[in-house]
């Protein structure tokens, strides 16, 4: 499984989640402009087989307009610590 974490999620989670999910990357670390546009993230994820992990509901709008791939996991957990996000994803 290839996960691409959006800018609104800490890049520090990547190292911790790789043993669980395999390939994990962060939008700020894959060569996209910083900050990356949602459409650029979408295109990158689609072309490279990633699932987008985000707290940004704009990706749901893109999903409705463009369909999938890529798949999108929308985390509706508000301002949460990286530890809380890690625990949620582990479950």
- Report pLDDT digits (tens) over 8-64: 999 999 999 999 898 999 999 999 998 999 999 999 999 999 999 999 889 998 888
Specify the pLDDT at position 79: 84
**Residue (of 42, 49, 63, 40) closest to 3 by Cα position:** 49
Confidence of residue 67 (pLDDT cuts 50, 70, 90): confident
pLDDT at 89 > cutoff 90: no
pLDDT at 2 > cutoff 90: yes
Question: Residues of 40-52 as b/e, b for ≥16 C-beta within 10 angstroms?
Answer: ebbebbeeeebbb
Asked if 70 and 54 count as a contact pair (C-beta separation under 8 A), the reply is: no
**Residue 53: HSE in the Cβ half-sphere, 13 Å Cα cutoff:** 21
Q: What is the largest CA-CA distance in the chain?
A: 33
- Tell me the whole-structure pTM to 2 decimals: 0.90
Specify the pLDDT at position 69: 93
């Amino acid at each position: 499984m290839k996960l691409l974490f959006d800018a609104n999620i800490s890049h520090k989670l990547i190292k911790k989640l790789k043993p669980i999910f395999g390939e994990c990357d962060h939008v700020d670390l894959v060569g996209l402009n910083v900050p990356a546009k949602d459409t650029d993230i979408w295109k990158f994820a689609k072309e490279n087989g990633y699932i987008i992990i985000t707290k940004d509901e704009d990706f749901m709008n893109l999903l409705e307009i463009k369909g999938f791939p890529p798949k999108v996991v929308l985390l509706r957990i508000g301002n949460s610590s990286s530890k809380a996000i890690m625990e949620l994803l582990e479950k």
